[in-house]
């Protein structure tokens, strides 16, 4: 085979691979769980919860939210990359990674949506 044919085959395989990755990433959805279902086995996993903000603490670099659903409560950490508008008793959807900080499970939020 000549170089042009090899280039066309490599380019076609690359495009096909990118399309497969895009298709897979669109079809993967993070499953919504209740706070009571978050355990030590959840550390490092992405979760989605719907809960109500019961407390807000602001630090220079973080928002620390206490979230409650009808099963339990958990703290969510949001890095201050922009000013966010939320208040106590707002119902929110949080997607984030479960972490352990000072022996307590928390959610390090990647996305927050007010419902």
Token readout for 40 is 């030590």
pLDDT score of 38: 92
Asked if the model's pLDDT at residue 91 lies above 90, the reply is yes
Mean of the pLDDT values across residues 42-65?
A: 92
Q: Rounded to two decimals, what is the model's pTM?
A: 0.71
Whether residue 67 sits in one domain with residue 13: no
Asked if 100 contacts 44 with a C-beta cutoff of 8 angstroms, the reply is: no
Q: What is the dihedral of CA 96, 101, 105, 111, to 10 degrees?
A: -10
Domain identity same for 5 and 46: no
Three-state DSSP class for residue 93: strand
Domain count, the chain: 2
**Domain containing 91: what range?**
35-114
């Amino acid at each position: 085979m000549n170089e042009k044919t090899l280039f066309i085959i490599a380019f076609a395989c690359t495009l096909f691979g990118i399309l497969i990755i895009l298709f897979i990433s669109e079809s993967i959805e993070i499953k919504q769980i209740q706070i009571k279902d978050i355990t030590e086995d959840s550390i490092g996993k992405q979760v989605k919860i719907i809960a109500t903000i019961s407390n807000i603490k602001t630090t220079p670099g973080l928002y620390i939210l206490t979230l409650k659903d009808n099963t339990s409560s958990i703290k969510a950490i949001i890095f201050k990359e922009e000013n966010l508008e939320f208040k106590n008793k707002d119902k929110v959807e949080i997607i984030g990674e479960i972490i352990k900080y000072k022996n307590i499970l928390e959610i390090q939020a990647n996305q927050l949506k007010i419902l």
